[in-house]
Each structure stands twice: as structure tokens, then as C-alpha cells.
Chains A and B, each alone.
Chain A
Amino acid sequence: MRQFWLLILAVIFWVMAVSTADVRAQEKKGVPPNGSEEKLSLVEAIVCEDMKGSTPVNGAIVFSSDLEKIYCLTSFDPVPREMDIYHEWYRRDELKAKVRLTLKPPRWSTFSSMRIRRSDRGPWRVTITDQEGKVLRTVRFSITE
């Protein structure tokens, strides 16, 4: 009888050990424990005057056309797998540029930039979309004098 209970306990321990190992393996691969893929999440989107490494400098919603360049930084956490996203730069409703950026798990920050001129004054927006074209966020700003 004692041997029977010992056998039962051994089976329980074995099952627990196997399932814990699976979870660890899945965590390593970036797959959620319940089996469905973790969703890409955009945690920050900002337009700024400059980038210092991966840090935005002077994030704002109005930029002078005297600046040579402006940047759009996007940070994702988590990034379930290596994938592409797009930064679509619009002046009013006219598409000016579409930049493809690659994200890598588990989290990733990336940016695109736009060279600006006096003729670019007006309301702008950057639409951030995933590779299926789904809009993740729209950042609105203006280029002025």
C-alpha cells in the first residue's frame, strides 16, 4: 500500500516537472503559456526634434520648419516575434512617406525620420500600422514657421 502511494506521488511530481519545463520553454520562445501568441503592444509613439540613442529629445506637437529633420519614435513591449511595422507620414491627407521598420522580440524601440522644408508647413500625422495594415496609433503634429 505504501508503495502504491509512493508511486502516485512520483507520477504527480513527474507531471508537474514536465509542465514547468514546457512553460519555461515557451517563455524562452516568447509564446504565452496558454498556447496563443502574445499580442504586439505599442507602448509609446512620439514625434520629436532629435534622438539621442533611443531616447527622444524635445517631443512635441508643433515643430518649426527651421528644423532639418523630425523623428517619430515608437516603442513596443512585448514584441511576440520578429515582425515589420510601418510609419506612414501624411501631410494633411497626402501620404509623404511609408517607412518599414523591423521589430525584434521581446521588446523593441524604433524610429523613422522626415526631412522637412518650408513648404511642408501644415498639419501632419504619422500613422503606425502593423504588417496587416491595422492602425496601431496615429500621432498628430504641425510644422509651422
Chain B
Amino acid sequence: MDIILNSYILFRLYVLFRGTHVFRVLIGIALLWFSQRVAVALGLVLTSWAIQGITAAAAFIIIVVFRNEIRSVLQAKNLKAILWGVPHRITKTPIETVIDTAFELAGKKIGAIMVFPGMDDLDELIQGGINWDGLVSREMINSIFWHDNPVHDGAVIIEGNRIKKVGAVLPLSRRDDLPSSYGTRHRAAAGLAEMTDALVLVVSEERGTVVLAEGSNVGTVNDKNVLVRTLEGHIGSTKEQWGYRKKEKREFAIAALAALVLISAVWFSFTRGQERLVAFDIPVEYVNRNPAMEIVDSSVNAVHVGLSGSGTLIKSIRPDQVKVRLDLSTAAVGRNSFVITSEDIGLPPGVVLRKVNPSTVEVTLDIPGEKVLPVQVDWVGKLRKGLMLTSAKVFPAKVQVKGGKTILDTLSTIYTEKVRLDQIEKSGSLEVKLALEPATLKIAPGSRDSVTVDYFVKERVSSLPAR
């Protein structure tokens, strides 16, 4: 679960930030982090510290420097797009712009060759060239094929609304039946069209004509509308997008796999390695208790849990990540004994349970109830010689208490806290709190937790000697 979740987060970061500068810097930071781990593994303390510092600073700098780019990525997308969606960058080729520019170049007798890939992969057939990735525009095409431009002899590869590559060298056709007036540019167009499903548009420098090569057909096109229809037929949205989607899907599949492999590697580097021990006092949580019962007593509130795992995992583990949960679904009224097993203990992945102390927990359950009990004062100490405590009135004389039914059944009186007799000289009144024993006993709402005692003292008049 940990691996899958983190792989997905990494994959989403790739999907959201691919093609941006942030992504490249993130890769840089990842490499720095990896170097730091290697340095740690090799015991290069100073190097690891230095890299750690650089990584921390870089992470901070990336947020500051690329805040606008990050903001644009996050603001432009809704939550669904961030968590799930795939941003498609495909856009339609501005065919009319391309054709207008082609005829403009033809009018100026400037040679040009433009490739519109189909579904076939052209990478193995095209040689050289410079990656460009610029938006298609009249000015851009004009400037690429301008005589003084170093790349004007090569072909441009147009995918979607972008010129992906300029100065590309295409394979030449070996056909003999091509018109003798066709030069190298035409042969290159014919060559690529023969070998792939790409459509190649050539502007003849000598005759100022526009020639289209598709499959084995090579011919001059004079009508702009015919050319528009042909190009639309070739790079019509379905075909073009299908090809692009296929490529994009492949890219995402590779990215997802890479994220999975990377996170798995990080995970296993965490979970393996030198074993380390740690112990925590974890509070016991009781679950699935019958709602009609309540816990009136337990032998322990927390257990001592000994764990082991790789140094990195153990170092990062916190006590709140360890849970001890006892299932009380089988518990009955009275005292229940539970042995804590590994199933009762929730641990972070990769951490192994070594010991639990105590391994047995006694839990007493009872059905809650209420009872009205008379109050009795718990006098202690010694009354002064010659005095007698003849009577006392307690107000309220009875209080309502709540607690476990089993305990309530054994009680017939509730006593006050101890009241010392030593200070009593004459009749008077005092306020005293009730002693709730056992501690699970509670005063019911509406009853007081203390009582008023009016006591009456008199001098001893008796034949019995005062003791």
C-alpha cells in the first residue's frame, strides 16, 4: 500500500509537471538525494552533510524560483485533474497557416520540406536534426527555410501545432521513375513517404511549386483547397490524436513503471539493512465493546511493545503509529482475560513485533446502572475526653450513584471521606465530600458529590468512666 501510494504520487507529479522546468529541477533534487544516500552508505559524513544542505536549499529555492510555474500548474487544474486527469497537450495542426506559408515560400522560390508523421515511428528513419518544439507560425516557417538559416536545407517535422524538429535528414528514394527535374529535396520527400505513412510537403526552390508526397505518389499540387483537404485527411484529428495518444500512453506507462520501480527501490532500501530495536509504551484501545456494557477496570492502561526493523524505519517510527487494539466482542460481564497477539497490534509496514509486556490484559466489564444509597459519615480520630457525639443529621441523607451493576449490587451505603473528631468541641455543621469506592463509581447527574453534616455533641454524664 505504501509503495503503491507513493508511486502514484510520484507518477502524478510527473504527469502534472512534465515538460516544465520544475520537473527537470525535481529530477536534479532526486539525484542529489540519491547521492546523499550513497554518501551515507559509504560513510562519507561530510559529503552527505553537504549534499543534504544543498538538497534542502534546492527544495526551498525551487518553490521560490518556480512559484509562478507551480501556481499555474496547480491553479489551472481542478482537484480531479490533479488527482486523476491526464493533461492532453494535443492541438490541431494549423493546416491553413502551413499551406499558406508553403505557397508563400513557393512564390518567393524558397525551398522547404515539411513532414507530417502518420502513425509510424519516424525516429529510426530520420537522421540528425535539431529538436525545436516551437509553435507553428507563418513567421517561424519562413525563418526556418530562409536561405541564410543553417537548418534551411533539412526537413521540419510538424506534430500537432508544434514544429518538433528542424534540419532533419530524410532517407532518399531509389526510384527511377521520378521526374528528372526532382532534386534531392524531392527525393527525400518521396523516400520517407514510400517507407512510412507520413505525408511530406515539398516547396520547389527552382520552379516555385508545391509538391506533395504520400505513399508512392509524388505530385505537384496547385490548388490550395485540394492540399487543405489532403492534409486534413492525413492529419485529421482522429488519426493524429490516435497516434499522439498512443505515444502519450506509452510515455505514461513507462513513467508509471519507473515510479513504481523507484519507490520500490527506496522502500526496500529503507526496510532492509541493519536491524535496530526500539520499545514504546502504547496505550491499549478497546474496540467492539458491547454498548450495553462498560469497562469498569483493566489490569493495565498501556503495554510495553518491543519492535525491530531497519535503522531508517525504526528511526522514523513514532509511538502513535503503533496501535494496540483489543477486540471485546467476545467479552462478558465480569473479569475477562485477553492474550495480546500480533493480530491485536497495528504496526507500520516493515516493522516486526518482538515482544509485548504484559502479554495478558484483564478487563472487567459491567452493565451500567444507578442506585440510591444512604450516606454515612466516616468518623475517625479521637473525641476529646468527656465529650460524646450523640447524633448527626446528613443532608442529603441519600444520593444517587451510577456504576457497574455488579458493584452496585454489593453496595448498601456510601461513605463520606474521613471526618476527624479531634477538632470537635461543640455541636456544629460541616461539609464533607463523598468517598466513591471503587473509583469507577460516579455520582449520578442531579446528585451532589458532598453532603452537609449537622452533628450534636454533649458532655458525658455517666457512671461509666471517661476513657
> A-side interface residues toward B, CB under 8 Å?
49-50, 52, 57-62, 64, 66-67, 92-93, 121-123, 125, 138, 140, 142, 144-145
Contacts and interface: CB of A to CB of B under 8 A. Distances in A.
Given A123-B415, A125-B413, A61 B381 contact: no
Given A93-B412, A138-B374, A60 B381 contact: no
Interface in B247-264: none
Contacts of B462: 49-50, 57-58
Contacts of B421: 62, 144
B376 A140 contact: yes
A145 B382 contact: yes
B373 to A, nearest CB: 11
List the 3 closest A-B pairs by CB distance, nearest first.
A142-B379, A145-B382, A62-B389
Contacts of B388: 58, 60, 62
B31 to A, nearest CB: 76
B464 A123 contact: no
B389 A57 contact: no
B376 A144 contact: no
A64 B379 contact: no
Contacts of B380: 121, 142, 144-145
Given A58-B460, A62-B389, A123-B378, 19 more contacts: A49-B462, A49-B464, A50-B464, A57-B463, A58-B462, A58-B464, A60-B390, A61-B392, A62-B388, A64-B383, A64-B467, A92-B413, A121-B380, A125-B413, A140-B374, A142-B378, A142-B379, A144-B421, A145-B381
A93 B378 contact: no
B377 interface: yes
Contacts of B381: 144-145
Contacts of B389: 60-62
Contacts of B464: 49-50, 57-58
A52 to B, nearest CB: 8
Interface residues of B, number: 25
Contacts of A50: 462, 464
A123 B376 contact: yes
A19 to B, nearest CB: 46
Contacts of A125: 376, 413
Contacts of A140: 374, 376-377, 413
A59 B390 contact: yes
A144 B388 CA distance: 12
A145 B381 CA distance: 6
Interface in B380-412: 380-383, 388-392, 410-412
Nearest to A138: B374
A64 B421 CA distance: 11
A21 B462 CA distance: 49
A144 B389 CA distance: 12
Contacts, number: 65
SS class of chain A's interface: helix, strand, loop or mixed? strand
B311 to A, nearest CB: 58
B390 A144 contact: no
Nearest to A124: B376
A78 B175 CA distance: 142
Nearest to A121: B380
B411 A93 contact: yes
A34 B392 CA distance: 40
B432 to A, nearest CB: 13
Interface string B451-467: 00000000010111001
Contacts of B460: 58
Contacts of A67: 467
Contact of B383 (A62, A92, A93): A62
Contact of B377 (A92, A93, A142, A145): A142
15 contacts: A49-B462, A49-B464, A57-B462, A61-B390, A61-B391, A64-B383, A121-B380, A122-B378, A123-B379, A138-B374, A140-B413, A142-B380, A144-B380, A144-B381, A144-B382
B392 to A, nearest CB: 6
Nearest to A127: B412
Contacts of A59: 390
A37 B392 CA distance: 35
A59 B391 CA distance: 9
A49 B421 CA distance: 18
Nearest to B388: A60
A144 B467 contact: no
Contacts of A64: 382-383, 467
Contacts of B377: 123, 140, 142
Nearest to B416: A123
A49 B411 CA distance: 28
Interface in B425-467: 460, 462-464, 467
A80 to B, nearest CB: 28
A117 to B, nearest CB: 15
A59 B383 CA distance: 15
B390 A93 contact: no
